[in-house]
Each structure stands twice: as structure tokens, then as C-alpha cells.
Amino acid sequence: MPNTPRTRPISATLRDGRTVTIRPLAAEDGPALLAFGAALPQDDWLYLQNDLRNPDVVGRLISARDAEHWRQLLAVAADGTIAAYSSARLLPGWSSHVADLQLLVAEGWRRVGLGTLLARETVDAAREIGAIKLMVDIVEEQADGLTIFTRLGFTREGLLINHTRDRDGNRHNLVVLGYRFPES
Ligand SMILES: CC(C)(COP(=O)(O)OP(=O)(O)OC[C@H]1O[C@@H](n2cnc3c(N)ncnc32)[C@H](O)[C@@H]1OP(=O)(O)O)[C@@H](O)C(=O)NCCC(=O)NCCS
């Protein structure tokens, strides 16, 4: 039985002294999420399933904010800027007990522990929507992402060869990491 969703914002101080609030995506976050997407480094689009530069995509994410099978979290700076976005979404059909995770930190907020912090919160959010297994796809070169999820207990379950292409047409392998909650 899924737990009640956690809606209480959490305040956290990062390694460089800056503070963020972690809270669920809200109806009024569209413009800030688009600004977050527009500011992401070009290379990041290699790693993303959702194009956060596209108003239609962002509109769909906002509309899904209360969906039972989906949790979307933001880390928001004191001035309202979005520093990070994450999501946990239950897969359809015979994998409806499995949540797929995404994690994305703005360039100016990287390497101060925010990715690790939000990844933990996203794992908790996935458990809240009833997931008993988690998975995350990471491009093989994305060492920080692999570090974060491996430390959380994820293990490598697969390697998809030449599964993604960057903007120059170069192919990259995709690592599939999985995690099962201990009691499952
Ligand atoms: C991957 C990503 C989420 C990491 O976010 P982040 O906020 O920088 O992560 P953290 O600060 O928690 O750092 C994670 C680890 O990266 C490594 N790292 C961080 N700073 C580092 C530095 N200055 N030098 C070398 N390694 C460093 C460390 O191993 C670190 O863990 P530690 O600080 O506990 O030792 C971010 O780079 C990103 O959004 N990338 C694009 C999207 C993506 O690939 N997402 C992952 C798959 S969904």
C-alpha cells in the first residue's frame, strides 16, 4: 500500500554554504522550470529523457504533478531559481512496481552535494508511491551520476551498447542501474 506523499518542504545547507528548499513541483513552477532547462549545458541533453527547454514538455510535467504514479521534486534557491529537478515514475504494465528515476542539477549548483541529497529524497519519494524496485539509466561517461547511485546501493543490471547519440552523432553506451528495497 503506497504511503501518503510527503509534501513538507525540506531545507538543506550545501557544502558551499548555500541553502536550498526541496519540495514537490507546483503549478506555478512552469516559467522557472523552463529557465532551468534553457540554462542547462548543451552536453546535458545527451543525458535527458525530457526536453525541459520545450514549453509543451514542461506543461505536461506540471500537469502530472499530482499523478499517483509520479513524484517530481525541485531544489529551489532562496531567490526562487530552480537548482535541481528530479523525478520518480512508476512504469506501466508488468513493471508497475518499478520506478524510473531522473536527476538533474543546474551547472552552477554541481559538486556541492546537491545531486546526492536530491537522489536520496527521490528514492524516498519512489518508495512513497509504492515502488519496490528502482532503476536509473546513465550514460557510461557520467561518472558523478554513477557515483551517486552506486553509493546509494544501486548495482549495474545492464549495459545498452551505443544506445544514445549526442548532438555530433557520437554514440554512447547506457548503463542501467537497479535497486531493490531491502524488504522487497
Ligand atoms: C550527475 C549530477 C546529477 C551530479 O550532481 P552533483 O550535484 O554535482 O552531485 P554531487 O555534488 O552530490 O557529487 C556527486 C559525486 O561526484 C563526484 N564529485 C563531486 N565533486 C567533485 C569534484 N570537484 N571533483 C571530482 N569529483 C567530484 C564525487 O564523487 C561526488 O560525491 P562526493 O561529493 O560525496 O564525494 C549532475 O552532474 C547532472 O545533473 N548531470 C546531468 C544529468 C545526469 O547525468 N543525471 C544522472 C542520471 S539521471
**CATH code (residue 126):** 3.40.630.30
Does residue 5 lie within any of the structural domains? no
Residue numbers of the domain that contains 77: 10-180
Q: How far apart are CA 130 and CA 178, in angstroms?
A: 16
Protein residue closest via CA to atom 33 of ligand 1: 113
Does residue 30 lie within any of the structural domains? yes
pLDDT 10s digits, 43-95: 776 667 788 989 999 999 999 999 999 999 999 999 999 999 999 999 999 99
The per-residue pLDDT for 184 is: 66
Does residue 3 lie within any of the structural domains? no
- Look up residue 184 and give its three cell numbers: 522487497
pLDDT 10s digits, 101-130: 999 999 999 999 999 999 999 999 999 999
- Look up residue 169 and give its three cell numbers: 552523432
Helix/strand/coil percentages in the chain, nearest 5: 35, 35, 35
Distance (Å) from CA 107 to ligand 1 centroid: 10
pLDDT 10s digits, 138-182: 999 989 999 999 999 999 999 999 998 877 888 999 999 999 998
What secondary structure letter does DSSP report for 6?
A: P
Q: Is 63 exposed, middle or buried (0-12, 13-18, 19+ CB in 10 A)?
A: exposed
Protein residue closest via CA to atom 9 of ligand 1: 115
Distance (Å) from CA 115 to ligand 1 centroid: 6
How many structural domains compose the chain? 1
pLDDT at 137 over 80: yes
Distance (Å) from CA 89 to ligand 1 centroid: 22
Question: Buried b / exposed e across 123-148, counting CB within 10 Å, b at 16+?
Answer: bebbbebebebbbbbbbeebeebbeb
pLDDT at 6 over 70: no
Q: Are 65 and 44 in contact (CB under 8 A)?
A: no
Are β-strands 70-77 and 155-165 bridged in parallel, bridged antiparallel, or unpaired?
unpaired
The model scores a pTM over 0.85:
yes
Nearest ligand 1 atom, CA 116:
12
Does residue 102 lie within any of the structural domains? yes
pLDDT at 3 over 50: no
More confident residue, 51 or 10: 10
pLDDT confidence band for 183 (50 / 70 / 90): confident
Does residue 4 lie within any of the structural domains? no
The per-residue pLDDT for 43 is: 73
Does residue 106 lie within any of the structural domains? yes
